A and B are shown apart, each in its own frame.
Chain A
Amino acid sequence: MSTTGKLVTMRQAVADHVPDGCTIAIEGFTAFICFAAAHEIIRQRKRDLVLCRLTPDLIYDQMIAAGVAAKLVFSYLGNPGVGSLHCIRRAVEHGVPRPLAIEEYSHFGMVGRYMAGAANLPFFPLRSYLGSDMPAANDQIRFVDSPYGDGSIAVVPPLKPDVAFVHAQRADVHGNTHLWGLLGTQKEVAFASKKVVVVVEEIVDEEVIRRDPNRTLIPGLIVDAVVCEPYGAHPSYVQGYYDRDNDFYLKWDEWSRDQAATEAWLEEWVYALPDRAAYLDKLGRETLDRLEPGKLEADPVNYGRYG
């Protein structure tokens, strides 16, 4: 595989890898949520996407309000620490701006689906769903008898998205990616997906990666494109780079209350802007300074030279 030419703009990555109707995963559990990718997908007016994510969060609330999605696969539908996701509720309850199909799991079920997808297994067994109404609401959650005589166990099918956007701290130009903090399902979704776009705060020399190989969560081998997008996860956060913009999460509750207000926000912050750099300019230095996390460094470790 060629390792040159993976470094592209977000515009290029979305144009190349997100056809209408595809199944897409932009994961990251509270952290590393790649809003930069979502906004570019909205700007390019993609349609009929199947959106996969444990916690749809504001990112899918925005995408669904913009009308890019036909279906949502998820396990927790809320604005974490705040309340409801109003846009998704509008789509589910009233078909606004478009009807939205849903397919619902628990967190462990979604994690298991990515695990099965990543490891090329026919299903993933987990000790969940017993006695719950969730299997009745979603016939993809099933039970099988253990061939070793331990009774019945729940299984979920593999999930293999057409494309995943995986945000992280840093990568080299080949897509070898360092990530630390809440790992979420970033590794599993990357290995499960047919194509992977890595989005990072900074591009580093290959030697930086090789000096700390235990931190390489995703190898360039499975990466199709690399995008450098500082603050690309705002208003979520990147461990050690910036804090979560909790004010934004609180205000979104207000901005998203009705479709017209949401569309006005999308017009101002997404459609009217050419790219992420313009978004950061508009956001302003003061906000970014407010999110500065300070320093708490790990001690260096010695890998040894061995030759």
Chain B
Amino acid sequence: MDESKKITSSEWMIVAASRALQGSRTVFVGVGLPNIACNLARRTHSPEMELVYESGVFGAQPARLPLSIGDPTLVSGATSVVSMADLFMLYLQRGLIDIALLGGAQIDRFGNLNTTVIGDYHKPKIRLPGSGGACEIAINARRIFMIMRLSKRAFVPKIDFMTSPGHLDGGDERVRLGMPGYGPDKVITDKALFTFDNPEREMTLAELAPGETIESVQAVIGWPIRVANQIRQMSLPSAAELTVVREHLDPQGLYR
């Protein structure tokens, strides 16, 4: 492999997400980077991982990179293909999903997500896709990882619309509302990795990508970011991981 080929910001996120998935048995997957991250995890450290798609596929083993979550390659060779009613009721709501990967246009300090509108709901500046399955996934999956590029436009003090609840106003509000899942656990970005490992359930800077500092990360976050006592460096993607991504999962470089 060409070691001189620069590691892209997408590759940082893919590899970081893949490593964070270690030990998870069932993962609810979306298209794009999450899809590559999950397939990388399955091909490296977690061959037993079951990929679950809201289109009704459990245990997908895609032979090519799926272009959408309803790609026919997810069906052929899967463990089970069920109706969407069964997928949401018997797999998600039943509590069988360990981790779900979500993203959004806006996120706040408690990991609440907006994928619906920028601006007012009835007079939006930008109309976004809406929930899809994200709202019920955010509530029912055991833990949520977010994969998002770090930018001031996305990491905002107040989201314009709460599509999918994270830790709401923080603390134990999810528990008080009777939500089954823990909620947001990690936010994986191109510049840093965040956790919510504190009683307030507030997003906390835990790892930095090479070249980044607390200040450079704070500069693109719309609120004073909480910082962990000990900050670690995000570890470098290995040659083996990059080979799987570049040569097998995304040979055309669609997500570079």
**B72 engages A293 (CB within 8 Å):** yes
The answer to whether the Cβ of A246 comes within 8 Å of any Cβ in the partner chain is yes
A30-B69, A128-B139 known; A185+B93 contact, CB < 8 A: no
**A181 engages B163 (CB within 8 Å):** no
Of A80, A126, A187, the contact of B83 (CB 8 Å cutoff): A187
The answer to whether the Cβ of A121 comes within 8 Å of any Cβ in the partner chain is no
**A181 engages B135 (CB within 8 Å):** no
The answer to whether the Cβ of A81 comes within 8 Å of any Cβ in the partner chain is yes
User: Which chain B residues lie closer than 8 Å to A128 at the CB level?
Assistant: 135-136, 139-140
**A131 engages B165 (CB within 8 Å):** yes
User: Which chain A residues lie closer than 8 Å to B83 at the CB level?
Assistant: 183-185, 187-188
Q: How far is the CB of A103 from chain B (nearest CB, A)?
A: 11
Chain B contacts with A in 159-218, Cβ cutoff 8 A? 161-165, 168, 173-174, 177-180
Q: How far is the CB of A58 from chain B (nearest CB, A)?
A: 12
Query: Chain B at the A interface: mostly helix, strand, loop or mixed?
Result: loop
The answer to whether the Cβ of A40 comes within 8 Å of any Cβ in the partner chain is no
**B129 engages A183 (CB within 8 Å):** no
The answer to whether the Cβ of A78 comes within 8 Å of any Cβ in the partner chain is yes
The answer to whether the Cβ of B134 comes within 8 Å of any Cβ in the partner chain is yes
Q: How far is the CB of A236 from chain B (nearest CB, A)?
A: 8
The answer to whether the Cβ of A74 comes within 8 Å of any Cβ in the partner chain is yes
1/0 per residue, CB under 8 A from A, across B214-255: the answer is: 000000000000000000000000000000000000000000
**A239 engages B56 (CB within 8 Å):** no
Of A152, A182, A188, A293, the contact of B85 (CB 8 Å cutoff): A188
- Interface segment, B10-18, B21-29, B74-82, B143-151? B74-82
Number of A-B contacts (CB under 8 A): 155
Q: How far is the CB of B78 from chain A (nearest CB, A)?
A: 10
The answer to whether the Cβ of B47 comes within 8 Å of any Cβ in the partner chain is no
**B177 engages A106 (CB within 8 Å):** no
Q: How far is the CB of A156 from chain B (nearest CB, A)?
A: 12
Q: How far is the CB of B61 from chain A (nearest CB, A)?
A: 12
Of B57, B136, B162, the contact of A126 (CB 8 Å cutoff): B136
What is the total number of residues of chain B having a CB less than 8 Å from a CB of chain A? 50
A182-B57, A183-B56 known; A106+B72 contact, CB < 8 A: no
Q: Give CA–CA (A181, B72) in the complex, Å.
A: 8
**B88 engages A107 (CB within 8 Å):** yes
**B136 engages A77 (CB within 8 Å):** no
**B136 engages A93 (CB within 8 Å):** no
User: Which of the four size classes fits the interface of chain A?
Assistant: 35 or more
Of A75, A92, A151, A180, the contact of B127 (CB 8 Å cutoff): A92
Q: How far is the CB of B66 from chain A (nearest CB, A)?
A: 8
The answer to whether the Cβ of A29 comes within 8 Å of any Cβ in the partner chain is yes
Q: How far is the CB of B119 from chain A (nearest CB, A)?
A: 11
Q: How far is the CB of B114 from chain A (nearest CB, A)?
A: 9
Q: How far is the CB of B42 from chain A (nearest CB, A)?
A: 20
Q: How far is the CB of B89 from chain A (nearest CB, A)?
A: 8
Q: How far is the CB of A255 from chain B (nearest CB, A)?
A: 18
1/0 per residue, CB under 8 A from A, across B50-78: the answer is: 00001111000000000111111001110
Q: Give CA–CA (A165, B70) in the complex, Å.
A: 19
**A296 engages B76 (CB within 8 Å):** yes
**B68 engages A77 (CB within 8 Å):** no
User: Which chain B residues lie closer than 8 Å to A132 at the CB level?
Assistant: 131, 135, 162-165
Q: How far is the CB of B229 from chain A (nearest CB, A)?
A: 30
Q: Give CA–CA (A137, B123) in the complex, Å.
A: 12
**A75 engages B56 (CB within 8 Å):** no
Q: Give CA–CA (A184, B82) in the complex, Å.
A: 8
1/0 per residue, CB under 8 A from B, across A145-187: the answer is: 0000011100000000000000000000000000011111101
- Going nearest first, the 3 A-B pairs with the smallest beta carbon separation are A30-B70, A131-B165, A128-B136
Interface residues of chain A, those whose CB is within 8 Å of chain B, are 29-31, 54-55, 74-78, 80-81, 89, 92-93, 104-108, 111, 114-115, 126-134, 137, 150-152, 180-185, 187-188, 237, 239, 243-244, 246, 249, 293, 296
A sample of 29 inter-chain contacts (CB < 8 A) reads: A30-B69, A55-B132, A75-B131, A80-B31, A80-B68, A81-B32, A81-B68, A104-B130, A106-B133, A107-B54, A107-B84, A108-B92, A114-B85, A127-B93, A127-B139, A128-B135, A130-B179, A131-B165, A134-B131, A134-B135, A152-B178, A181-B75, A182-B56, A182-B57, A182-B70, A188-B85, A243-B72, A244-B68, A246-B67
